[in-house]
Copies of this chain bind each other. A is one copy, B any other.
Amino acid sequence: MSELFELGRGILEAQPFSVLLGTELASFEPGSAVLALAVRDELRQQHGFVHGGVVSYLADNALTYAGGSVLGDSVTSEYKINYLRPAVGERLEARARVVSSGKKQAVCSCEVFAISEEGERMVAVAQGTISKVDG
């Protein structure tokens, strides 16, 4: 396991909200990150689908990780997400990558997939700006 991955896993474990949701770091390399989440009933909305807020949280966090992989300690400044279809499945994966980066900011994109026994379907796509935390 790489040093970067260990660092990333430590940050995730230090986020109480990510612990509450059960988020796992599936991959973390320079320029990309994958966050995964086992779907359980507590994460759903009124129609039985995974709540959009969960999908959005996972995309946001994966964007920060991707940006952070090249910038160091970082936050999401802004992002935009398009929901493509209801999130149905046993597991979500948010796969983010750096599109372009400078010294202080990175623009990243992210695809979120819902995974079930029948395969995986993209359920959302996001794009945003990650900013290095000063100091």
How many interface residues does A have (CB within 8 Å)?
45
Binary contact readout A28-57 vs B (1 if CB under 8 angstroms, 0 otherwise): 000000000000011111100001111011
Selected from B16, B20, B78, the residue in CB contact (under 8 A) with A82 is B78
Q: Enumerate chain B residues within 8 angstroms of A107, measured Cβ to Cβ.
A: 78, 82, 84, 125
Selected from B19, B46, B64, the residue in CB contact (under 8 A) with A11 is B46
| CA distance in complex: A58, B51 (Å) | 11
| CA distance in complex: A105, B52 (Å) | 17
Q: Is the pair A80, B129 in contact by a Cβ cutoff of 8 Å?
A: no
Known: A52-B57, A77-B129, A82-B107; 8 extra A-B contacts, CB below 8 A, are A17-B53, A18-B51, A51-B57, A52-B60, A52-B64, A53-B57, A78-B83, A84-B99
